[in-house]
């Protein structure tokens, strides 16, 4: 049974259309999910997820939208029993969406409702055992505060609204030197992007939410890849306002 909970200050309502504040809309784990080669069984209201092999297996679910919402967030309540350090990814048909581990659940940044996909896929890298207790959507009727940068900074393209940084990976003696160099270049680019953003935030007087910083940086998209004689140059980018972007990690913008 799907549940809708609205919390406004200290009062609770069971009204579906959004009036003010936030709404939580929980999926029915036994009827709303589609499983792709995952072994699942009931554990009360929760689901026991089992993937003992290698590789990736997944489940998918529809994205619900309610009237009046401007932004939404996906929350996944999963207790890992095996494989807690292994990859857990959430993807739409177009891109991967970063997940922040809050301790009690994993959450995406807030996404504009008009950019929400119709379906999402949650993938597990095996081996993995876990208990999935809830998948819910948090809807907000408030507008996200737009970040306006006052200064000019390296890597910032105001016209496109993006921040980019590049990294370099040198060819090695591995059996696949190109792939190893590209991985090293990505890591270098993420480090450089993180350093650039921290320096920029300090000058702009913006407060970074450290719990969101790392996952947002890792969600940066590769916008360019160049092969040179010595190695690979990879450029990654984030939006200034958008997801994944600077607005996801700045406290005043949440």
Nearest C-alpha neighbor of 123 from the set 83, 152, 163, 66: 83
Range of lowest pLDDT (68-77, 84-93, 153-162, 195-204): 84-93
**Is the predicted pLDDT of residue 134 greater than 50, yes or no?**
yes
Residue found under tokens 């910032």:
156
Cα separation, 45 vs 144, whole angstroms: 34
**Is the predicted pLDDT of residue 8 greater than 70, yes or no?**
no
**212 backbone dihedrals φ, ψ, rounded to 5°:** -105, -15
Query: 187: part of which helix (H) or strand (E)?
Result: helix 177-204
More confident residue, 86 or 199: 199
Q: Is it true that the peptide bond before 91 is cis, omega within 30 degrees of 0?
A: no
Please report, rounded to a whole number, the percentage of residues in the chain having pLDDT higher than 70. 83
Half-sphere exposure of 146 (CA within 13 A, CB side): 3
Query: 80: part of which helix (H) or strand (E)?
Result: strand 71-82
Nearest C-alpha neighbor of 147 from the set 220, 22, 254, 21: 254
The pLDDT tens digits of the residues spanning 200-222 come to 988 887 888 888 898 889 889 89
**Those residues with Cβ within 8 angstroms of residue 199's Cβ, 6 or more apart along the chain or in another chain:** none
Q: Are 139 and 128 in contact (CB under 8 A)?
A: no
Q: Are 19 and 68 in contact (CB under 8 A)?
A: yes
Q: Are 123 and 89 in contact (CB under 8 A)?
A: yes
Question: How many CB atoms neighbour CB 247 within 10 A?
Answer: 23
37: left (phi over 0), alpha (psi -120 to 50) or beta: left
pLDDT at 225: 95
Q: What is the 8-class DSSP label of residue 33?
A: -
Q: What is the mean pLDDT of residues 32-56?
A: 89
Triad 79, 117, 119: Cα angle to 5°: 55
- All domains of the chain in start order, with CATH: 3-140 (2.60.120), 156-253 (3.30.110)
């Amino acid at each position: 049974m799907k549940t809708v909970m609205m919390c406004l200050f200290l009062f609770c309502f069971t009204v579906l259309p959004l009036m003010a504040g936030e709404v939580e809309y929980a999926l029915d784990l036994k009827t709303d999910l589609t499983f792709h080669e995952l072994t699942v069984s009931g554990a009360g209201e929760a689901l026991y997820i089992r993937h003992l092999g290698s590789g990736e297996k997944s489940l998918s679910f529809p994205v619900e939208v309610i009237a009046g919402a401007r932004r939404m967030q996906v929350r996944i309540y999963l207790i890992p029993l095996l494989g807690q350090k292994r990859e857990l990814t959430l993807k739409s048909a177009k891109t991967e969406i970063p997940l922040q581990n809050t301790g009690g659940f994993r959450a995406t940044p807030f996404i504009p409702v008009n950019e929400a996909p119709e379906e999402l896929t949650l993938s597990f890298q095996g081996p993995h055992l876990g208990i999935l207790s809830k998948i819910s959507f948090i809807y907000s009727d408030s507008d996200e505060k737009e970040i306006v940068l006052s200064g000019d900074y390296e890597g910032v393209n105001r016209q496109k609204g993006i921040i980019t940084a590049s990294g370099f990976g040198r060819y090695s003696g591995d059996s696949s030197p190109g792939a190893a160099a590209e991985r090293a270049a990505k890591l270098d680019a993420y480090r450089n992007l993180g350093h650039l953003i921290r320096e920029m935030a300090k000058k702009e007087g913006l407060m970074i939410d450290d719990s969101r910083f790392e996952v947002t940086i890792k969600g940066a998209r590769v916008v360019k890849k160049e092969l040179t004689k010595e190695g690979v140059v990879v450029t990654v980018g984030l939006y200034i306002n958008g997801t994944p972007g600077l607005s996801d990690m700045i406290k005043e913008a949440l």
